[in-house]
Structure 1
Amino acid sequence: MAEETIDIRQLTAEDYRDLKESMMSAYADMPGSYWREGTIQRLIQIFPDGQIAVTVNGKVVGCALSIIVDYEKFGDDHTYEQITGYYTFSTHNPKGDTLYGIEVFVHPDYRGKRLARRLYDARKALCENLNLEGIVAGGRIPNYEKYADQMSPRIYIEKVGDKEIYDPTLTFQFSNDFIVKKILRNYLPHDHSSKGFATLLQWFNIYYEKDRDTIRYNKSTVRIGLVQWQMRTYGNMDGLLQQVEFFVDAVSDYEADFVVFPEFFNAPLMLEFNQLDPAAAIRGLAKYTETLREKFSEFAKSYNVNIITGSMPIVIDDLLYNISYLCRRDGTWDSFRKIHPTPSEVYSWGMKGGNDIRVFDTDCGKIGILICYDVEFPELGRILAEQGMQILFVPFLTDTQNGYNRVRFCAQARAIENECYVAIAGCVGNLPKVNNMDLQYAQSAVLTPSDFAFPVTGVKAESTPNTEMIVVADVDLVLLKELHAFGSVQNLKDIRRDLYEVVTRKK
């Protein structure tokens, strides 16, 4: 048997004879259903990239035809005639947002060779290259005529989705990651096999970037720098700030997008209040927090790096909180108050928990911040993930290896279950002259989900334990999009929302 050569390429006007023959064979149950030559030439003229042919040994045996539309002008209630401009394709808009599939077929003699899948893959690649939001199409349900007396189109579609019924068109669409948005009535009135019904199908382009053509855009590869901070006495605020700026400078030399400091990295300044009881000493330390936030903002702008400032105590309305700041390199800033103070923070200091759980927008995607103990509560990470979080930053302070492992293992779990990156940064060393801050244990790390595109250990980078140093690592946000859509398991997508949910109660 002679070898076959299969090719995917743009359709040309010279292909019309083969195209007509293949289409008439594909739609043998719908006599006269083939595109006229002038119509095909019109499509090729207005949008050549959108007309894709599959050939076997040089013969066109199938094709995928498309136009670009501004989908809002049509919405979900439209007919085939309306979306195609009554076959004139006047609806094609090169500046539109959606690739609309108006035709896919393969000659029946060449089925079973996965040619339709090749056409769909080519169409998806075109959608991605053009940075369109997705693909929309009206799909036939040709086997429905066999079940029309037994069930409604909705039940039929559900049973096809559950693989109880096979439909040559809809089953294929489901296998190619299309979803059914709704059922269309009289979309193709002459389609008797489908009883005039059609499915409105949609495929989402996970790589779509709304602002890709603007100067300010979200990066796909993000560089993170972690500061594993050595506790030492500084004498005064100037000494502490000198060390802070040293690390910001060092990380920014690597052109990092984020630099992350640990929880209570400024604890050495408590030496000034050592004569006070613990609750008064921590409130004394809080008087430096606003100055530190201002300096971090200055460093973020001057060193062109977003800074997660670790955490510091702060007094608001006479209540003590543990607060972290996001200081952006554009000069803006946000804050997050630790939700769950540890039992010792409550007992020794009278610390209160914050009530605001939200993600923050940055020039490198959406981020979340949880402080130390917070990461041990999975509900917080899930809430942030449902708000679109891509990177979770966790400043922490632990005094024993047991305490560290609680943070580390829970952070790893948050990365897996929420399909995000988690960066943890902690303090090392000791402060023998500062009450309640004697010893610290840390191994800072950038943690990943667990799938083929990520390190098999789930660790992108990590520090040497208990050693002052920085860790610099790149994370790819595109891999997260691919994981959400095509991962071996899909924790976010497969949540049984019919059975349970995580909700917040505003105080």
Structure 2
Amino acid sequence: MGYHNEIYVFDNGKPIPAVIRNYNHNDFDELIKIQAECFPPPFPADLLWNEEQLNSHVSLFPDGAICVEVDGELAGSLTGLCVQFDPAQPSHTWEEITDSGYIRNHDPLGNTMYIVDISVRPRFRKFGLGKLMMQSMYQVVVEKKLDRLLGGGRMPGYHKVAPQMTIEEYLNKIIGGEVKDPVISFLLKCGRKPLAIVENYLDDAESHNYATLMEWKNPFK
């Protein structure tokens, strides 16, 4: 049985009906449009979803493919796969661990839900949809008795300060509240904690190709 959660989000205090559910083939065209809105240049266009990848998501691991509608309009998505992860050996690239977004390496016996991507249309970001989708995936982690939810967080603000500080200093300033980063600060608000910084995680000029692995541990394990 798939995931389906009917909720309300609020626009200046006005409740608006929304639903978080598994995405399917009928959503593909809109999901591709959402990616283009969320990741404009200089983000590499070849890293945006294509139909083959989306078909792989819903075929290999539909439980890890969720989206959110607001008043009937598709507003965002979150995609994950299961992998076997050892915290003592955290280094990897996004391409390696997600099969370049095709998730053909999905391991039904894996111990970790790995987040491939999260996208929310800019005009819907005031509703907190990213956090709601993340919490929905936490529920899947608990239901499947996995150890954790994990994913690499971009640090798109780093390029602005890279001449003045190391990536470790940048992360520490985010955690200390001295700096706000669009991705890492969001993930902290979602309840995730830094596990490790990885180099050459993604072709990402804004982050100088770094990412921080952000973990949510299953509290029932």
Q: Is the shorter-chain TM-score for this pair beyond 0.5, marking a shared fold? A: yes
Q: Distance in 1 between matches of 2:136 and 2:125?
A: 17
Measured against aligned partners, the alpha-carbon deviations of 1:325-350 in whole angstroms (never above 9, x if no partner) come to xxxxxxxxxxxxxxxxxxxxxxxxxx
Matches within 5 A, 1:454-473: none
Contact 2:56 2:104 in 1 (8 A): no
TM-aligned CA deviation for residue 61 of structure 1: 1.3
Indicate which of 25, 47, 51 corresponds to 2:37: 25
* Map of 1:42 onto structure 2: 56
Aligned ranges 1:278-427 → 2 under 5 Å: none
Aligned letter for 2:143? N
Q: Please give the root-mean-square deviation of Cα atoms over the aligned residues, in Å.
A: 1.9
Q: Which amino acid aligns with 1:59?
A: E
For 1:74 and 1:25, the matched residues in 2 are separated by 36
Instruction: Report how far residue 85 of structure 1 moved.
Output: 2.5
The letter of the residue matching 1:196 is N
AA in 2 matched with 1:26: C
Please name the residue that 1:191 is paired with. 204
Does residue 8 (structure 1) correspond to residue 20 (structure 2)? The answer is: yes
Looking at structure 2, the residues matched to 86 and 8 of structure 1 have their Cα atoms a distance apart, in angstroms, of 25
Q: Structure 1 residue 31: deviation in Å?
A: 4.9
Q: CA deviation at 1:72?
A: 3.6
* C-alpha contact (below 8 Å) 1:18/1:59 kept by paired residues: no
Contact 1:24/1:31 (CA < 8 Å) preserved in 2?
no
Give, in whole Å, the separation in 1 of the partners of 2:87 and 2:171.
Answer: 27
Which of these residues, 201, 216, 220, is aligned with residue 214 of structure 2? 201
- The one-letter code matched in structure 2 to 1:162 is G
More off after superposition, 41-50 vs 68-77: 68-77
Opposite residue 147 of structure 2, the aligned amino acid is E
State the alpha-carbon separation in 2 of the partners of residues 10 and 75 from structure 1. 31
One of 47, 58, 70 as aligned partner of 2:72: 58
Q: Is 2:166 the partner of 1:168?
A: no
Q: State the 1:7 CA deviation.
A: 1.1
Unaligned runs of 5+ in 2: 1-10
Which is bigger in relative contact order (C-alpha 8 A, separation at least 6)?
Answer: 2
AA paired with 1:172? Answer: F
Partner of 2:4: none
Residue 104 of structure 1 is matched in structure 2 by 118
The amino acid of 2:207's aligned partner reads S
CA distance in 1, matches of 2:210, 2:220: 31
Pairing 1:123–2:163 present: no
Measure how far apart 1:115 and its partner are: 0.4
Contact 1:74 1:83 in 2 (8 A): no
Q: Return the TM-score normalized by structure 1.
A: 0.39
Contact 1:145–1:193 (8 Å) recurs in 2: yes
Partner amino acid for 2:209? G
What is the TM-score when the length of structure 2 is the normalising length? Answer: 0.88
Deviation string, structure 1 residues 139-178 (Cα, Å, up to 9, x no partner):
1011111111110000000000111101010001112221
**Percent identical:** 28
Q: Which has the larger radius of gyration?
A: 1
Determine the C-alpha separation between the residues in 1 that align with 2:175 and 2:104. 34
Within 5 A, what are the aligned runs for 1:204-215? 204-208=217-221
Give the 3-state SS of the residue equivalent to 2:126 in structure 1: coil
Letter in 2 for 1:122: S
Question: 1:46, 1:193 → 2: CA distance?
Answer: 32
Unaligned runs of 5+ in 1: 209-507
| 1:217-255 alpha-carbon deviations (Å, 9 max, x no partner) | xxxxxxxxxxxxxxxxxxxxxxxxxxxxxxxxxxxxxxx
The residue number in structure 2 matching 1:182 is 196
Instruction: Work out the CA distance in 1 between the residues paired with 2:44 and 2:56.
Output: 23
| Structure 1: distance between partners of 2:16 and 2:86 | 43
The ranges of structure 1 where at least 4 consecutive aligned residues each deviate by more than 6 angstroms after the TM superposition are: none
**Structure 2 SS opposite 1:4:** strand
